[in-house]
Amino acid sequence: RIAYVNGRYVEGRHAMVHIDDRGYTFSDGVYEVCEVFRGALIDEQRHYDRLARSLRELRIDPPVGQGALEFILREVLSRNKVSNGFVYLQATRGVSPRDHAFPQTPVRASLIVTARSVDPKKGETAALKGISVVSTPDLRWKRVDIKTISLLPNVLARQAAKESGAYEAWLIDADGMVTEGAASNAWIVDRSGTIITREADQSILRGITRTALVEIIAAQGLRLEERKFSLTEAFGAREAFITGATTLVTPVVMIDGRPIGEGLPGPIAQKLRAVFHEHAA
């Protein structure tokens, strides 16, 4: 397994960063996960745009320009022979002795890139069965629109989901409204067939899959409302699903042990998954 680490392509066991890397000491960094499907990076430009925004919001200078990044991602994919799977990239503020404030003398941001193959059939199996989610309080900070590597609440939420036999956790804000999943965006379909997902403000990550799906929904002539929805509304929904680079469109058939709709993957979620695959191809 070959990783890119600050200018070099190295064997996995030698792929290391400095103990004073601010990603390690403070989670002071950002990341992207991009799906690779039949050798192509899905919605690649949108990932670069979101990365640039995340870096800007945290005032981290980009470690390399977009052209170089495009080259590095392809190099890591080909050196690992990945044609279906993901590429992961992480940029941190760089190496500097531990001090909360930014380094006084500017340091170069760190950049690492890894890639992993995933059997596309695995996701298909999950999508055919549908997944279960559990609700858990959203304990994150108020700027989760920035894709930072600071993911401890998400880690704990995912672990809670796993321990109760579910795949994903839906995070619930102080008003009982669903924000998003621990690593995905959350959607429901109401009794009239209207698709609902929370508006992309600072309380959720504006998923690349979400953005692509908003366009697909419009092109399909389906109705979409971008607004908050409560857990109670989700319990009574006809369908539910999640979106993300690692899950694409995956139907949700159970929330907190209660079946959603018929307790089977819904027709709208299945349709959107199929159309999303066409868009990716």
Selected range binding ligand PDD among 15-23, 116-124, 203-211, 253-261, rule: CB under 6 A: 203-211
Q: Report in angstroms how near the CB of residue 245 gets to ligand PDD at its nearest.
A: 3
In angstroms, give the least distance from the CB of 52 to ligand PDD: 14
Interaction between residue 33 and ligand PDD (CB under 6 A): yes
Indicate the residue among 132 and 154 with the shorter CB distance to ligand PDD.
154
Break the chain down into helix, strand, coil percent, rounded to 5: 30, 30, 40
- CA dist 39 and 24 (Å) reads 31
Chain position whose Cβ is nearest to ligand PDD = 207
Residue 273 lies near ligand PDD (rule: CB under 6 A): no
Q: CA–CA separation, 140 vs 172, rounded Å? A: 10
* Residues 73-92 as x/- pattern, contact with ligand PDD by CB under 6 A: --------------------
271 is catalytic: no
Calculate the CA 34 to chain-centre distance. 9
Q: Which region, judged by CB under 6 A, interacts with ligand PDD, from 126-134, 157-165, 242-250, 260-268? A: 242-250
**Binding test (CB under 6 A) with ligand PDD, winner from 132, 150, 209, 250:** 209
Per DSSP, helices labelled H in the chain are 22-26, 44-58, 66-79, 120-129, 152-163, 208-219, 231-235, 267-280
Which of 142, 147, 162, 271 is catalytic? The answer is 147
Contact 275, 220 (CB under 8 A): yes
Element (H, E) at 35: strand 29-37
Nearest to 7 by CA among 100, 84, 113: 113
- Under the criterion CB under 6 A, does residue 207 sit at the interface with ligand PDD? yes
Rule CB under 6 A: is residue 135 a binding residue for ligand PDD?
no
- By CB atoms closer than 10 A (0-12, 13-18, 19+), residue 70 is middle
Nearer to ligand PDD, 28 or 180 (CB): 180
Dihedral of the alpha carbons of 211, 212, 213, 215, in degrees to the nearest 10:
90
Q: Identify residues 162-201 at the interface with ligand PDD (CB under 6 A).
A: 180, 183-185
- Alpha carbons 219 and 144: distance in angstroms, whole number: 29
- Closest of 65, 17, 72, 51 to residue 149, by C-alpha: 51
Asked if residue 205 binds ligand PDD (CB under 6 A), the reply is yes
Please, what is the minimum distance in Å from the beta carbon of residue 209 to ligand PDD?
A: 3
83 DSSP assignment: S
Q: Which of residues 143-162 bind ligand PDD (CB under 6 A)?
A: 154
Of 246, 267, 275, 280, the one binding ligand PDD by CB under 6 A: 246
Min. distance of Cβ 185 from ligand PDD in angstroms?
Answer: 5
Answer for which of 51, 208, 234, 240 binds ligand PDD (CB under 6 A) is 208
Based on the shown chain and the rule CB under 6 A, indicate whether residue 228 belongs to the binding site for ligand PDD. Answer: no
Site for ligand PDD, rule CB under 6 A: 33, 154, 180, 183-185, 205, 207-210, 243-246
Could you give the residue numbers annotated as active site? 147
